[in-house]
Amino acid sequence: MSAQQQEPVLQQRAVFLDRDGVINRVILKDGKPFAPSSLEQLEILPGVDEALQALQSAGFCLVVVTNQPDVARGVLSRATVEAMHEYLKSKLPIAEFWTCFHDDQDDCQCRKPKCGALLDAALKHNINLAESFMVGDRWRDIAAGHAAGCTTMFIDYGYHEVAPQTFDYCVASLFEASKIILADER
């Protein structure tokens, strides 16, 4: 078979995940969510391990796409964030973390609501974005998922902040989102 006749490489499906509020518990202050500030505060939410194991077994690439602006703000060290990610990777079947350490004024392409991190991850892992999902608990996650062409799943905790205007599914947890995604597979 010549190089021109080679079969195309099949793209894989992915589930893109926000970190705080999707995988681990947020710290709520006056109804607003904040990231944990230490490894000791990092708590994996109930049902997350089971949901991710089921999604991985079904062939989904699991990619965390997270904004961590506290690093740019000088509130949290990059080493602490990376230690949290190493801990989560040791406990959960996550293929990769794509972390934006910038703040809004930096105007980078990887900071949600922009979709640069999803596009870069798709290129690296040969992901079909139209067949993939973005699961998040804030409007930025859903906007990034829409911009990348993914099906969006909004975990609605009723935070005291702007909610996404449009999403494909509204769910109570990652576990519930995984059931919908897996039912779609059948």
Q: Name the percent of the chain lying above pLDDT 90.
A: 91
**C-alpha–C-alpha distance, residues 59 and 95, integer Å:** 12
Residue 10 has a pLDDT of 72
5-36 per-position pLDDT tens digit? 565 667 899 999 999 999 999 999 999 999 99
Residue 185 has a pLDDT of 58
75-103 per-position pLDDT tens digit? 999 999 999 999 999 999 999 999 999 99
| Mean pLDDT for the chain overall | 94
- Per-residue pLDDT, averaged over 54-70, amounts to 97
Residues identified as active-site: 18, 20
Residue 159 has pLDDT above 90, yes or no: yes
Structure tokens at 15: 């589930």
- pTM equals 0.93
Query: What are the structural domains, with CATH classification, of the chain?
Result: 11-175 (3.40.50.1000)
Write out the DSSP string of 115-144: -HHHHHHHHHHTB-GGG-EEEESSHHHHHH
Does residue 83 sit in helix, strand or coil? helix
Residue 1 has pLDDT above 80, yes or no: no
